[in-house]
Amino acid sequence: MWMLLLLLLLALPARAQDLMGHGGPVRALALLPGGTLASAGFDAAIIWWDPGAGRALHVARWHGGAVNALAALPDGSLASAGEDGRIALWPAGGADGPRQVLQAAGASVAALAAAPDGSLAAGSWDGSVRRFAVDGSGRLLGSQDGPVTALAWRSDGVLLSAGQDGLVRAWEADGPVTVAQRGLPRTALAALPDGGFADGGTDGRILLGALTLVAGDRPVVALATAPGLLAAATAGGAVSLWSLPEGRLLHRLDGPAVPVWSLAFAADAATLWTAGQDRRIRRWQVASGAALGPLAPEPRAADAPAAAAFRACAACHAVSAEAPPLAGPSLHHLFGRRMGSLPGYGYSPRLARGDVTWSPATVAQLFTEGPDVMLPGTRMPVQRLQDPDDLAALLGYLEQATR
């Protein structure tokens, strides 16, 4: 039943689509060494962000479906995994394709966790738990009875897993040991600096040693830790900050009221990033709980309301000749330009064919059918505009702003 609940939540309509970048709910966040933030989601896209500048550095669309999990590796690279059962290892800064691909037996991967030594663990919907060495060689550690929903490396180097069977297991050298039996499916897990762990379940509660913290009345779907801090997010959109080790509630953040699927603390723990169903990546001041605004800036008031339809594009595409380069090609002088013809931009092979000339009609086709249908093989995140008024506003904005 809890799996059905989560699937139903995914079908909820998004609110105002005013985060640039993703074309669907954001399922995972990861902060990389050096401060780059990576995000991934149900649009099959992975985006590397410069969070200080609020712009996308690179966009990759390689997985054959939703990307469910990200893990930052110690060397600055990134691991991603999703419903296609593949684990991709990406070089620092992103690339059009992964530097290495690991196979997780074809089952949808729901969780990744990177160890300090660079090895990687993956948990799948078939219940399997695998470990991959730094050289990419992998082995099956064992299985839980049902989907594995979360993984974490304990401070002593032991892997923890949690899942639908209500168990938290430690994968010791001589086999798995059940360290907690909760009775309800476990939906989130985090290792703590003192060697303990926190796990959240479908009842909205977080268990932390002898403490029980109430995050909300919907399933806890994400946990994140920083020195002295624990953040929790729920499928109902509640986000809370707690102090450790005493488990004192610091703040309940005024979140989006739709599922928040992912959390990440900044390296200095002064900022918390959240993302979820409404496609926005939000940032929060940890000390006060104050909202600091979305990752990328909103369109200028003078451009509203037509610019509102462009918000999902603005992280990757500039419209003026003076704007700095972004992850996608500039849209300056878009109409009348042949697809894949902007000098100096590394287009995907599909766009480099140049067999489409951009016009109001072809842009309308792109956003009606979706780039995955009109231009299969493109790296553009899947975006569709079903509302004729939204589509007309986007076309009107592009005609004016890209001249």
- CATH assignment of the domain containing 234: 2.130.10.10
Number of separate domains in the chain: 2
Asked if residue 365 and residue 239 are part of one domain, the reply reads no
Asked if residue 201 and residue 131 are part of one domain, the reply reads yes
Boundary of a domain, candidates 278, 294, 310: 294
* DSSP structure class, residue 357: B
Q: How far is CA 43 from the centre of its chain?
A: 10
Asked if residue 377 and residue 314 are part of one domain, the reply reads yes
Per the listing, tokens 């669309």 go with 61
Asked if residue 358 and residue 256 are part of one domain, the reply reads no
pLDDT at position 18: 29
Strand, coil or helix: 302: helix
Asked if residue 241 and residue 313 are part of one domain, the reply reads no
- CATH assignment of the domain containing 308: 1.10.760.10
pLDDT at position 95: 85
Range of the domain at 366: 301-401
Asked if residue 317 and residue 193 are part of one domain, the reply reads no
Asked if residue 256 and residue 369 are part of one domain, the reply reads no
Q: Is 274 exposed, middle or buried (0-12, 13-18, 19+ CB in 10 A)?
A: buried
pLDDT at position 99: 94
pLDDT at position 374: 92
Amino acid at 259: P
C-alpha closest to that of 259 among 274, 283, 237: 237
Predicted TM-score (pTM) of the model is 0.75
**CA pair distance 164, 199, nearest whole angstrom:** 12
**CA pair distance 370, 170, nearest whole angstrom:** 43
Asked if residue 395 and residue 280 are part of one domain, the reply reads no
Asked if residue 165 and residue 220 are part of one domain, the reply reads yes
**CA pair distance 184, 244, nearest whole angstrom:** 24
Asked if residue 320 and residue 268 are part of one domain, the reply reads no
For the chain of 403 residues, list the mean pLDDT of each consecutive stretch of 10: 39 32 85 93 88 84 89 95 93 89 83 94 94 92 93 94 95 92 95 93 94 94 96 93 96 85 94 89 93 61 54 73 69 92 80 92 92 83 81 88 86
Asked if residue 333 and residue 265 are part of one domain, the reply reads no
